[in-house]
Chain A
Amino acid sequence: MPKINLDKERVLKLTGNKIGDEELRKTLGFLGTDVESITKNEIEVEIFPNRPDLLSEEGLGRALKSFTGKEKGLKKYSARKSDYKVIIEKSVGSVRPHTACAVVKGLKLDEKKMEDIIEIQEKLHVTYGRNRKKCAIGVYPSENIDFPVSYKALPVEKIVFRPLDSKKEMGASQILKFHDKGKEYAHLLKGKKHYPLFVDGKGSIMSMPPIINSEETGKINKKTKDVFVECSGHDFRVLSKALNMVVTALSDMGGSVYEVELVNENRKTPELIPEEMYLDKEYAESLIGRSFSDNEIIGSLERMGFGASKKGKSFKVLIPCYRTDILHQADLVEDVAIGFGYNNVGEENERPETPGKEDFREELKEKIREIISGHGLVEARNYNLSNKDFQEKYFGRGRIVGIKNYLSEEYNSLRYNILVSLLKALKVNKHHDYPQSFFELGKVFSKDSSEESGVKEEEALGVVFCGVNANFNLAKQHLDSIFSLLGLKYELVEGKDVFMIKGRCGVVKFKGRNIGFLGEISPGVLVDYDLDVPVSGFEIVLDDLFGEF
């Protein structure tokens, strides 16, 4: 979740309140943010991903202002009519097809405000824009731009301009190779033969979204009063919302918003008109679990910045143009609850009586744990992830479930049996006295195309004894005891296992099915685990046993 550092004084000024630090922390918390710290000058706060509109001093200030009751209800934003045009050419269709644009005039920028604009842009890029993939935002001094602006794509080799922070002109592919931003976002244009551009009426390149603006026409400074803002991407609705978040913040900075006609798309942006949604009172009351007066619901919604009025049994709710998270009435209900105060929603203690029930498999595993720990063994708990090469060496290819995007070779597959983990536990304990004995109950994994996930998961029990007297008989005594106490019978027949010494290994059979093996671990395996003391043990899959009770 994105963290932002905000100027405390500015936020409080926007809020129109004098709030002490303790109160501010609490208020921000109950508004729906995570306060990291509040210092003399700064508020560090984490914004939840559903509220990108709070990622600026203006946005958070606006929300606080209505939440504290200073100015409740829908804040009206509007765009003035204008002749500004952006021509969307067909050529962008296959690269980055959409844009939403606006002009904001009369900003009195200073160092601080300039930084703020860049900060809003960056935070939206990272969060709502999914690192510029869904949405990239550009801000330009509109004084330098001749309208109409064209949004078009040109062949890569034909694009040459001076990108921000560069001393000279560069070709598009050079920018992607050498410019910092180019390198960072090159993957977003990978494989494209045409790159998108904003070009002004004079034909000068303003920017190459989603990578970088031009140094000459795309850099705002302290003297900038009027700006042109564009958002580009693949889904117009996303862009329109992002644009709204930016221009409402600029409007709160003192700017006047002007609309831009998107030629060929037959629309004008920004679209600052609030959407409507109806909230059913009964639904709200049942979901929150208490009854409300109409005014309580309207007041709560207004504290959250909505417009609200009663219509029959429902409320007509006007959703601010910068909100992106209202998909369902349930979203309005949450805002009612937040506006009313989570603390003020009562606590209902009447609940249906239902019997508690443990999963039987877990219960049986508990019993087995009891038996074996009674034998004096210590339980190990290992990771289910294990090294693939090692497992394939013993169990062959095709059975081991590998992880595609592992971080460490040591943990790049799921374990095929428990002994691989238990032997590792013995290795870890080499510095302690012998004898040592461990058991583990856990899952083992193998490829199986008949499973929905393609992975078969079974519950297994592994046991190891390590010490000079660790032998076949010791292992068998323990297995005997377990089966006897479970009231079940097994059969041990001569067999082989990759982990075991030939001739000192038995296959464990239950009702005619092989469920595991028992024996003395072969010296080769011990060497692989760097062990110099004999080990015996067994491993059985429990799934067949569960059905016996």
Chain B
Amino acid sequence: MKDIVGQLTGLERKILPLLVKQDFEALELARKTGLQEVEVLRAGQWLQNKGLVVIEREEEEIVVLDRNGKEYVEKGLPEKRFLRALNEGATTVSQVLKKGVSKEEINICIGILRKKNAVIATKEKELSFTITEEGKKILKQKSLEEKLLEKKFPLKEKDLKAEETHAVKELLKRKNILKKDKKKTFTLKATDKTKKSKELKKELSQEYEEKLTKEMLRTGSWKGKEFRAYDVKSHVPRIYPGRKHFVTEATEYIKKIWLELGFEEMTGGEAQSAFWDMDALFVPQDHPAREMQDTFYLEGKAKLPKKYLEKVKAAHETGGDTGSKGWQYKFSEEISSQVMLRTHTTVLSALTLSNLKKEDLPKKYFTVGKVYRNEALDWKHLFEFHQVEGIVVDPEGSLAKLKGYLKEFFLKMGYTDVRIRPAYFPYTEPSAEVEAYNPKKKEWVELAGAGIFRPEVTKPLLGFECPVLAWGMGMERIITAYYDIKDLREIYKNDLEQIRNAKMFIKK
């Protein structure tokens, strides 16, 4: 008991002295202490957990005003207003409307009033009404329903008199006037233990310091004072720091891996000519990936780089000086100069190669960049996403070395068991698919694409032959795996709570 008593919080100390004397309903207690009802209930809950207080909850049937009911409380019931309008000389519908009774309300009234013989309806040119003697009588008297609406709501059902119950029943038949509901009431009662506890009595009379102040420090008055002990387990409200988006964090994580492996970052334009995005990578001009349903094309035409155009064109048409037969078709500069949103980051690799000199080698580059596909947005398709890509430009490069790089790279990404399988990309030969063994699913799962750039790609861009090892993968799959996101759209919805609460991107 002593421990408990010493740790009472401010709120608890406010309500407990009252409860020791008598039981209270939460609302009443709130009024007496000046606290909010939720605060009283929260403190009551804590005290109940400590065994000092019991909260009894009761559910009561109540009657509350609905949408129309609230309006009628102010303006009166529509049938009364309708009768009043007739009494004041209105006859036709349009005249009644002018008196502030709406069309909908008129429709409601007519039935009720005709049943009571309060009005007579006639139809000549226009529907018109006259009030009967009975109607005038009704107008003078307050109906049971009206009397009921004058009461203070909500009404407890158990407190209703017989005629009130009848009025409630009638009004409930009508649209949106009254609603039945349930209300919970909470009664707080101090336990016997509490009432009898001397320690508590003493405690409640004891003065504790709530807060250490500047004043106390300056004057030394803190000496000999006791500070109220806290409940260290109590809940505190969340704070939210400013923070980076989790996509940025994932990007940083991946970039760090590349940097540790000695790769240099490539950046570049997202709007590219078909020449750089496709032709330079030896993608034939009739390749399906270039079709309108796969690629976003932009308005306008790109300028073609003279220095490389002839060489790339020759590679496509005849192989040029690359030792290839080429695709053997007529290369179109028209197609080349289409502008598109880059479909892969490999375009940056092509641009990088075109700026390299032999004496710079060996070189390693990476990029993490946005790419675009002409897809309708749905749970498994994004039209904008990120690719992660690396190349190694090394005269000594080979498939065996590529395997070595892949093993090292993916080990850093957390994949201990990777293998390569044959695959196909228009710009690599050999081409490979990188797979990781998933021990849970007991199967090999696709991870990335890899390969060695074709001579038809490298020779025209570099001007000499050199193997270029390349591999790349989508970044979003790394994010969805980490955050267990099923719907890709979730990644870019920018929901404040989601970004605030997303766990940091931490991976060993």
Contacts and interface: CB of A to CB of B under 8 A. Distances in A.
A358 B262 CA distance: 10
B430 A334 contact: yes
Contact of A32 (B292, B370, B424): B424
Given A327-B456, A402-B298, A454-B339, A380 B267 contact: no
Contact of B496 (A287, A343, A378, A382): A378
B495 A373 contact: no
B329 A235 contact: yes
Contacts of A29: 421
Nearest to B302: A453
Interface residues of B, number: 97
Contacts of B234: none
Nearest to A377: B242
A181 B407 CA distance: 50
Interface residues of A, number: 89
Interface stretch (B124-132, B168-176, B373-381): B373-381
A454 B302 contact: yes
Contacts of A342: 399, 419-422, 432
Interface string B396-415: 10111101110110000000
Contacts of A443: 270
A432 B497 CA distance: 8
Contacts of A481: none
Contacts of A290: 398, 400
B337 to A, nearest CB: 10
B496 A356 contact: no
Contacts of B372: 385
B242 A380 contact: no
A39 interface: no
B13 interface: no
Contacts of B302: 452-454
A535 interface: no
Contacts of A372: 242
Contact of A373 (B242, B271, B432, B467): B242
Interface string B206-249: 00000000000000000000000000000000001111110110
Nearest to A358: B265
A380 B245 CA distance: 6
Nearest to A443: B270
A105 B499 CA distance: 69
Interface stretch (A115-123, A154-162, A346-354): A346-354
A549 interface: no
Interface string B300-340: 11110100000000000001001111111100000000010
A468 to B, nearest CB: 17
A425 interface: yes
A366 B271 CA distance: 23
A294 interface: no
Nearest to B424: A48
A381 B247 contact: yes
Interface stretch (B135-143, B189-197, B253-261): B253-261
Contacts of B358: none
User: What 3 A-B pairs are tightest by C-beta distance, nearest first?
Assistant: A289-B398, A289-B400, A32-B422
30 contacts: A30-B421, A287-B399, A289-B399, A328-B454, A328-B456, A330-B452, A334-B422, A342-B432, A347-B404, A348-B404, A351-B394, A351-B404, A357-B265, A358-B265, A373-B244, A378-B240, A379-B248, A380-B499, A384-B384, A385-B384, A403-B299, A406-B296, A407-B374, A407-B375, A428-B493, A429-B496, A452-B303, A453-B302, A455-B269, A455-B300
Given A376-B242, A454-B339, 17 more contacts: A50-B424, A286-B467, A342-B421, A349-B407, A350-B404, A355-B262, A356-B261, A358-B255, A362-B255, A378-B243, A384-B370, A401-B299, A407-B376, A411-B383, A424-B494, A445-B271, A453-B339
